[in-house]
Amino acid sequence: MDHFNEAAVRDEEYEFDKNYVIRAELPGIDPAKDIELSVSGGVLRLMVQRQKESRTSDARHYRSEFRYGSFTRLVALPVGASDDDVKATYDDGILEVRIPMNGAQAHERRIAISKH
């Protein structure tokens, strides 16, 4: 298969320490190049593009379960979630987004991702 779909990504969402936390398993991704995060109108938008590796060897290739391609996931944020001071980190294949729960009104902006 030469596609990467939303169902291939496992995630979790929960509230912790006055933040709405979204964590997604995205191993093998370069967050600077392959992930785009934005928030607008109470919705977090996660776009991921996984590039296919090109191999130059004489070895015979029998099977690959790696998935490549792109997907977009929209996450409706709960009432009280704000886009002020949203933090995103990527560590050991896990993308974590922390959204403050302070009741402020959200407006559109892109979110930078730091790599640990």
Residue pLDDT, tens place only, 25-58? 998 888 989 999 998 888 999 999 877 665 556 6
> Which residue did the predictor score with more confidence, 54 or 24?
24
**pLDDT average, residue stretch 92-99:** 95
* Neighbouring residues of 23: CB distance < 8 A, sequence distance ≥ 6: 11, 12, 13, 94, 95, 96, 97
Indicate whether 1 pLDDT > 50: no
**pLDDT average, residue stretch 89-93:** 95
Give the per-residue pLDDT at 87: 94
> Which residue did the predictor score with more confidence, 36 or 7?
36
CATH topology of domain 6-51+67-115: Immunoglobulin-like (2.60.40)
